[in-house]
Amino acid sequence: MGKKPIKERLKIISAMLLQHKDLQGPLELKKKTLVIQKEIDSTPTKGLAINWDDKKSIEDLQKKALDRKLPIIYFLDPLKFDPDLLLIAFKKLVHVFVEQRINEEGLKRLLNHVESGKISLSKLIEAALGENITIIADAAKESDVKAELLLYLIGAITQPALEEIARKIDPQFPDKWWQGSCPVCGRIPAVAKNRYRKRFLVCTYCGTEYLSDNYLCVHCGNKDPYTLKYIEVEANPAFKIDFCTKCKHYIKKIEETKLKEPIPKGLEDILTLNLDFLAKDAGLARN
């Protein structure tokens, strides 16, 4: 269950940088992000103070999620995230984006605000866990960065802990979920896999794979097969773009039996970027 370990993904990314000249930018950024995440992942806590060997703590989280029909992330105590460890990672990650000249001035301002205490990193983590968009939006506006970028940065430093939870959950837990969003982190999936005539949604954030209705728009919940269409990719029959004619959102689909070679877990999204370009050209929106 879950993604390949970060150190394995780093090796794969390094090899792919030599093969995929068309994806140099995103792959290089992914590699640098993984290096920082590996530092968090190599600690006993993974950035979150939880007894990872205690099955009961994970089972309790699963039970709460199923009983309340809310993802596990809602039941994590934000105060148990290690602020010192995550602040170090946050600084390094911001510098990576500054080096790439992505929102350079705004990110420098954001870092100054966080280091001075004007913006609390712990509060941002709490807001991200609880999907309090107002706090995120206010902090982003204060620093003149996009809210989506700030959410990405917070998500990147908390990701190792969520990935570890995804590895520790009972394999039967996600099959009882039957909702469009991820049962662990609550994100809307960008990728689906067809396997043995069953559809599995893939969370490209924490790595959870979970059963889904074959006809379901994960964005709006539409289940009408007559309004759920797909675009075939002539160059590769293993890939399709499923989309909803009602809300105009799409999800990338991988037909696993038609793949020439398997796609490493955790890299499904980045290695199907060409599908995002096709979907954009078709006037579709990503989830």
- The answer to whether residue 26 sits within a structural domain is yes
Residues 18 and 93 in one domain: yes
Question: Structure pTM?
Answer: 0.91
Residues 45-95 have pLDDT tens digits of 999 998 888 889 999 999 999 999 999 999 999 999 999 999 999 999 999
**What pLDDT score was predicted for residue 18?**
85
Residues 40 and 47 sit within 8 Å (Cβ to Cβ): yes
Residues 151 and 38 in one domain: yes
Lowest pLDDT segment from 9-18, 34-43, 120-129, 168-177: 9-18
Average pLDDT over the chain, rounded to an integer: 93
pLDDT of 2 higher than 80:
no
Residues 227-252 have pLDDT tens digits of 999 999 888 999 999 999 999 999 99
- The answer to whether residue 54 sits within a structural domain is yes
Residues 115 and 65 in one domain: yes
- The answer to whether residue 29 sits within a structural domain is yes
Residues 194 and 254 sit within 8 Å (Cβ to Cβ): yes
Residues 97 and 139 in one domain: yes
Residues 24 and 64 in one domain: yes
pLDDT of 171 higher than 80:
yes
- The answer to whether residue 1 sits within a structural domain is no
- The answer to whether residue 59 sits within a structural domain is yes
Residues 154 and 22 in one domain: yes
What token pair was written down for 162? 């969520």
**What pLDDT score was predicted for residue 1?**
60
Average pLDDT over residues 260-280: 90
Residues 95-154 have pLDDT tens digits of 999 998 888 999 999 999 999 999 999 999 999 998 899 999 999 999 999 999 999 999
**What pLDDT score was predicted for residue 13?**
87
**Interatomic CA distance for residues 13 and 122, integer angstroms:** 31
**2 against 277, higher pLDDT:** 277
Residues 87 and 145 in one domain: yes
- The answer to whether residue 27 sits within a structural domain is yes
Domain C-terminal end among 168, 199, 220: 168
Residues 257 and 144 in one domain: no
Domain span at residue 48 reads: 6-168
Residues 210 and 6 sit within 8 Å (Cβ to Cβ): no
pLDDT of 163 higher than 90:
yes
- The answer to whether residue 46 sits within a structural domain is yes
pLDDT of 22 higher than 90:
no
**What pLDDT score was predicted for residue 225?**
95
Residues 123 and 17 in one domain: yes
What CATH code is carried by the domain that includes residue 188? 3.90.1670.10
Residues 137 and 34 in one domain: yes
Residues 203 and 161 in one domain: no
Domains contained in the chain, number: 2
Residue written as tokens 């992505």? 102
Domain C-terminal end among 121, 148, 168: 168
Residues 139 and 200 in one domain: no
- The answer to whether residue 74 sits within a structural domain is yes
Domain C-terminal end among 153, 168, 183: 168
